[in-house]
């Protein structure tokens, strides 16, 4: 059985935890940030900054993040490598919502904010969607859709489950970001943004590896940074539109089922999933939930 150890940065650690959220092991382990099990591989992230991969697929899984006992510095873009005065430039930004939620779709939005619109967006109250209440997000999204060019892609659970066996969670997000940005660039042509800023969810090299598999691969003026909404309002706007779409879709699904579908992937999700399984089995659940999450097995245990 392979045993691979990586030394990673704090930002990489946070990205890894987000990427493995569907596979997290809830049992606490001392001196760890998280532990996850995916396709026969156990991933254990220690507070020391080291991450251990154990299992038959350890080498393949670890290769997504770096080389053994080295931090993959070349794949981590930090704020110092971003264009000077980025916050004042005309930028196309992208962000996604729903990746960590068992129920509901995966939504990705690319939004273009011209430098002449920055003041207007600040006046509207555009900022990190995490600082806004759901009602504010929905109202702001309606205004933004009338104010700036954007491209929204919504991947419903049923389609998500169909492609998930061949598209892992990271590749899926890369494909959606890549396509949303490509379509938006076509919409705003011949205008070209000063920069394309992606809210980073995987190392840059990993993003580009998966992007090369796409028909319309993006290559120019790409920048990656975590918490991108803090660096430009284009990412904040994209996050708000994505979040509003996710909430609206979750409400629609809840109305269809006659059950309130929670966001996130906690015990409430297990309980609701168990109710759906009793109602229509896994075939029904597949229309509303991301089946590869650990919640599915937990719900089955509740049913039994």
CA distance 95 to 243: 9
Q: Is the dihedral of CA 251, 253, 258, 260 positive or negative?
A: negative
- Tell me whether strands 50-55 and 2-7 are parallel, antiparallel or unpaired: antiparallel
Contact by Cβ (8 Å): 77, 213: no
Helix (H/G/I), strand (E/B), else coil: 88: helix
Residue 199 labeled ligand binder: yes
Helical spans, DSSP H, in the chain: 10-19, 58-62, 118-124, 134-147, 157-163, 169-188, 204-211, 233-257, 267-285, 295-303
DSSP letter, residue 107: E
The dihedrals phi and psi of 150, each to the nearest 5 degrees, come to -150, 165
- Tell me whether strands 222-225 and 195-199 are parallel, antiparallel or unpaired: parallel
Residue 96 labeled ligand binder: yes
Q: Distance between alpha carbon 22 and the CA centroid of its chain, in Å?
A: 12
Which residues are documented as binding site?
Answer: 95-96, 199
Which residues are documented as binding site for a divalent metal cation?
Answer: 95-96, 199
């Amino acid at each position: 059985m392979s045993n691979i150890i990586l030394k990673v940065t704090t930002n990489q650690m946070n990205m890894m935890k987000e990427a493995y959220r569907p596979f997290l092991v809830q049992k606490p382990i001392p001196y760890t940030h998280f532990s996850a099990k995916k396709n026969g591989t156990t991933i254990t992230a220690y507070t020391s900054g080291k991450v251990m991969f154990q299992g038959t697929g350890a080498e393949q899984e670890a290769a997504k993040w770096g080389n053994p006992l080295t931090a993959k510095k070349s794949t981590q873009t930090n704020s110092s490598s971003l264009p000077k005065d980025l916050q004042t430039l005309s930028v196309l930004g992208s962000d996604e919502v729903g990746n960590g939620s068992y129920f509901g779709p995966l939504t990705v939005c690319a939004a273009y904010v011209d430098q002449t619109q920055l003041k207007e967006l600040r006046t509207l109250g555009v900022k990190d969607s995490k600082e806004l209440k759901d009602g504010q997000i929905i109202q702001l999204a309606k205004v933004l859709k009338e104010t700036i060019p954007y491209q929204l892609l919504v991947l419903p659970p049923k389609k998500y489950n169909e492609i998930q066996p061949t598209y892992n969670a990271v590749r899926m997000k890369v494909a959606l970001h890549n396509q949303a940005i490509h379509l938006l660039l076509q919409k705003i042509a011949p205008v070209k943004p000063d920069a394309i800023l992606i809210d980073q969810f995987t190392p840059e090299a990993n993003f580009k590896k998966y992007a090369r598999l796409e028909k319309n691969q993006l290559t120019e003026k790409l920048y990656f940074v975590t918490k991108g909404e803090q660096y430009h309002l284009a990412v904040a706007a994209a996050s708000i539109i994505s979040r509003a779409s996710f909430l609206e879709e979750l409400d629609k699904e809840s109305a269809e089922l006659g059950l309130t579908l929670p966001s996130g992937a906690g015990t409430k999700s297990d309980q609701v999933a168990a109710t759906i399984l009793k109602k229509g089995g896994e075939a029904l659940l597949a229309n509303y939930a991301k089946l590869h999450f650990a919640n599915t097995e937990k719900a089955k245990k509740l049913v039994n």
